[in-house]
Amino acid sequence: MMMEIIKLSTTNWNNVGPLTLTIGNFDGVHLGHQKLFNIVKSYKDTKSGALTLDPHPQVLFGRDGFQTLLSIENKIELLKEENIDYLFIADFNHDFASLSIDEFIQNLKDLGVVRMVIGRDARFAKNGSGTINDLKVHFDVVVVDDVIGSNHRISTSMIKELLLKGELHSANELLGYEYFIDGYVEHGNKVGKTLGFPTANIQYKDSFLPKNGVYLVKFFIDSKMHFGICNIGNNPTVNYSKTRKMEVYILDYDKIIYDKIVRVSFVERIRDEMKFNSKEELIDEMHNDEIISRNLIKSIKIW
Ligand SMILES: Cc1cc2nc3c(=O)[nH]c(=O)nc-3n(C[C@H](O)[C@H](O)[C@H](O)COP(=O)(O)O)c2cc1C
Ligand SMILES: Nc1ncnc2c1ncn2[C@@H]1O[C@H](COP(=O)(O)OP(=O)(O)OP(=O)(O)O)[C@@H](O)[C@H]1O
């Protein structure tokens, strides 16, 4: 069965039960989240469901500069792969955020929830006042053991920290897939061409960018995959940009691709972005990036 998506307001929780449900932000749909979904699905006496909030609470409450790993569209895409029966997306506004513990629990009952699968720190209702103990009074509650990775409990915040530190490998490992960003290809300053490395400039909007630097990436366009080398940063050597840029030199590719939506998946971090003394030094280093990348690709292809 295909996952069915149901949008929830504060009141329209109609019975689709009996249901085993997990709740959370699920930003990143990381290995910790994936374990929850697997446990939800393991109960054959009910249908399976996940309830998430859109927008993310930190966005609603206007935390400065808060960015999510996944847009809601990407989250839906990844959750579809988890093969749960229902995804409930709560329209997270101030009314929804004000639901009391009792109101929230009544809504869950109206939805047909009989069992909740959650991590030990799960919270719900106004200011996160609802806890596992409140749920236990009404439902069969399954508290899932912490999923550990890199010696810590896996969490969205930890994965973001790893991406910011340039520890791409660990981040990808804890996500269970290669971190990716979707965006439009926009017009750049066309300087790349004159360096011998034409690049697709990606309009990454409010996506969460990994640490500045050069990365081997997979570049998906028109449902095809090409390898590419991505630079994230301010281009300190030529054409300094105040806002961070994300651009990809696509290997063995010469099509003009403005305005298309593409996906950039981060495979390997190659180096920091650097300020060179001359254009020539930058070009030399970019040649070196290409050699490193082509070698990495060979080793990936062997596996
Ligand atoms: C593989 C690659 C590595 C890059 N490394 C650096 C770098 O270390 N330092 C830097 O200032 N710019 C770096 N750049 C950015 C180039 O300077 C950039 O492509 C050029 O400024 C063209 O930008 P444009 O989009 O404005 O035409 C790199 C670009 C690529 C594709
Ligand atoms: N590593 C983990 N092991 C077990 N359960 C987890 C793990 N990470 C999250 N959960 C559970 O998954 C549900 C959703 O978690 P949620 O996405 O809200 O937070 P998170 O992944 O811990 O990220 P954040 O860093 O934003 O708190 C919750 O019930 C939470 O307890």
Q: Any residues with CB less than 8 A from the CB of 106 and at least 6 apart, and which?
A: none
**pLDDT value at residue 302:** 66
Asked, for residue 169, whether it belongs to a domain, the answer is: no
Confidence of residue 259 (pLDDT cuts 50, 70, 90): confident
Q: Of 221, 238, 235, nearest to 278 (Cα)?
A: 238
Together in a domain, 44 and 139:
yes
Task: Give distance in angstroms: CA of 186 to centre of ligand 1.
Answer: 16
pLDDT of residue 256: 80
The first and second tokens of residue 287, run together, are: 């040649």
Report the alpha-carbon distance of residue 250 to residue 263 in Å, rounded: 12
147 and 9, same domain (yes or no): yes
Residues with CB under 6 A from ligand 2: 24-27, 32-33, 36, 118-119, 121-122, 144, 146-147, 153-157
Residue 23 in any domain: the answer is yes
CATH code of residue 277: 2.40.30.30
Question: 303 pLDDT exceeds 90?
Answer: no
Helices (H), the chain: 31-42, 57-60, 72-80, 94-97, 101-111, 132-136, 156-165, 168-175, 191-194, 279-302
Residues 132 and 212 in one domain: no
pLDDT band at 285 (very low <50, low <70, confident <90, very high): very high
Could you tell me if 57 and 189 lie in one domain?
Answer: no
Asked if residue 163 is part of any domain, the answer here is no
Q: How sure is the predictor about 170, in pLDDT bands with cuts at 50, 70 and 90? A: very high
Q: Which ligand is nearest to the CA of 130?
A: 2
Indicate if 229 and 130 belong to the same structural domain: no
8 with 145, same domain: the answer is: yes
Q: Does 204 share its domain with 94?
A: no
Query: Measured from the CA of 146, which atom of ligand 2 is nearest?
Result: 3
The domain in which residue 143 lies consists of 4-153
Residue 240 within a domain: yes
Regarding whether 139 and 24 lie in a shared domain, the answer is yes
Instruction: State the closest ligand 1 atom to the C-alpha of 272, by its place in the atom list counted from 1.
Output: 8
Q: List, in sequence order, every residue forming a beta bridge with 261; answer none if it has no partner.
A: 184
**Domain membership flag for residue 192:** yes
Q: Is residue 66 part of a domain?
A: yes
Q: Which of 119, 153, 187 is the last residue of a domain?
A: 153
Name the domain boundary from 114, 136, 153: 153
Same domain? For 148 and 192 the reply is no
pLDDT computed for residue 64 by the predictor: 77
* Choice among 45-54, 109-118, 132-141, 252-261 with the minimum mean pLDDT: 252-261
Which pair of structure tokens corresponds to residue 97?
């955020």
CA distance 19 to 43: 9
Q: Is the pLDDT of residue 78 over 70?
A: yes
- Provide the domain count of the chain: 2
Q: Is 80 exceeded by the pLDDT of residue 194?
A: no
Helix (H, G, I), strand (E, B) or coil at 175: helix
- Considering the domain architecture, whether residues 108 and 185 belong to the same structural domain is answered as no
- CATH number of the domain residue 67 falls in: 3.40.50.620
Same domain, 201 and 268: yes
Three-class DSSP category at 284: helix
- Respond yes or no on whether ipTM tops 0.95: no
Residue 300, pLDDT above cutoff 90: no
Contact 90, 48 (CB under 8 A): no
Pairing of strands 200-203, 180-186: antiparallel
- pLDDT band per the 50, 70, 90 thresholds, residue 33: very high
Nearest C-alpha neighbor of 262 from the set 216, 208, 204, 210: 204
In a domain, 93, yes or no: yes
Half-sphere exposure of 110 (CA within 13 A, CB side): 13
162 assigned to some structural domain = no
Which residue is it, tokens 């070196």? 288
Q: Quote the pLDDT of residue 23.
A: 97
Span 90-148, pLDDT tens digits: 999 999 999 999 999 999 999 999 999 999 999 999 999 999 999 999 999 999 999 99
Tell me, yes or no, whether 205 and 142 share the same domain: no
Fill in the amino acid letter for 235. Answer: N
The closest of 151, 162, 8 to 87, measured between CA atoms, is 8
